[in-house]
Amino acid sequence: MRLLRKTLAILLILFCLWLLLPLAAGIFHIGMIYPVILLLPLIVVLWRRSPFGGSRRRAAAFSLCYAAALVFCLGTVAVMAKAAQNDGGDGGTVIVLGCKVRGSTPSRLLYDRCEAARGYLEANPDAVCVAAGGQGAGEDISEAESIFQVLTIRGVAPERIYLEESSTNTEENLANAAEIIAANGLSTDVVIATDAFHQFRAARYAKKAGLNPTAAPSATYLPVMPGYWAREILAVWKAILLR
């Protein structure tokens, strides 16, 4: 039993290091930090020989709290993952959701979202695309312009791409894209090109804007993946509880 506890503790330490790995690239957000804070007491308990001094009541309370947190997080992740499996049909309007641009260079996440959109546009030559995202701090061009550049370089005709350059968050991405779709008579059956972890919340905002969403999930870069999934758990519940 002691060997099992220490093995689990080591695995959790490795998971925490995975969460913190993006710090080496200057990436920092709450999704990297709060899971580590929550896991540290569990790691200590697993590593110590008699962490509760023989008190079964304290051990049971501790175990119940962590079991509830685990069920909560895994349940939310399951819902998020299911939304990413809602594959797009033929002929929908693609909406590429913006992500960080460093200067004029798209981040890895944004580039991968563009690749997901390009794959759909190649398979559906009559489909068009709305590139969504304004210009934020540290960005020399808008996220929409960066999406446009990546897609056109990768062979998508410029006339198939509409730019939405005023949004500052996911909800605005979808609301403003819906206005562009309505103004140009485009299909309200939309295919959202974004990371798998982002699809549930994006679909929620798309429906709020009067769109019928499906998913074109991009693959999230492995070193940053757990932190972004963890951060999105908080964002999903914020969207559910506050909107």
In single-letter form, the type of residue at position 227 comes to G
84, 109, 141: which is the final residue of a domain? 84
Same domain? For 76 and 160 the reply is no
pLDDT for 7? 94
Q: Identify the burial level of 183 via C-beta atoms within 10 angstroms of its C-beta, where 0-12 means exposed, 13-18 middle and 19 or more buried.
A: exposed
CA 119 remoteness from chain centre: 19
Give me the pLDDT at residue 45, please.
Answer: 87
Whether the pLDDT of residue 186 is over 90: the answer is: yes
- Asked if residue 236 and residue 176 are part of one domain, the reply reads yes
Indicate whether this model's pTM tops 0.75: yes
Domain housing 16 = 2-84
Query: Which whole number is the average pLDDT over 34-56?
Result: 83
Q: In what order do the strands lie in the sheet with 93-97?
A: 161-164, 129-132, 93-97, 189-195, 212-218
| Owner of token pair 């499906």 | 214
Judgement on whether residues 69 and 134 belong to the same structural domain of the protein: no
Domain final residue, candidates 17, 50, 84: 84
22-37 pLDDT, tens digit each = 999 899 999 999 999 9
Single out the residue in 44, 64, 84 at which a domain terminates.
84
| Tokens matching residue 171 | 């909800």
Q: Measuring CA to CA, which residue among 180, 232, 241, 175 is closest to residue 208?
A: 175
168 and 116 within one domain:
yes
Residues 162 and 64 reside in one and the same domain? no
Express each pLDDT in 70-118 by its tens digit: 999 999 999 999 999 988 677 789 999 999 999 999 999 999 999 999 9
What are the tens digits of pLDDT across the range 233-243? Answer: 999 999 999 86
Domain count for the chain, please give it. Answer: 2
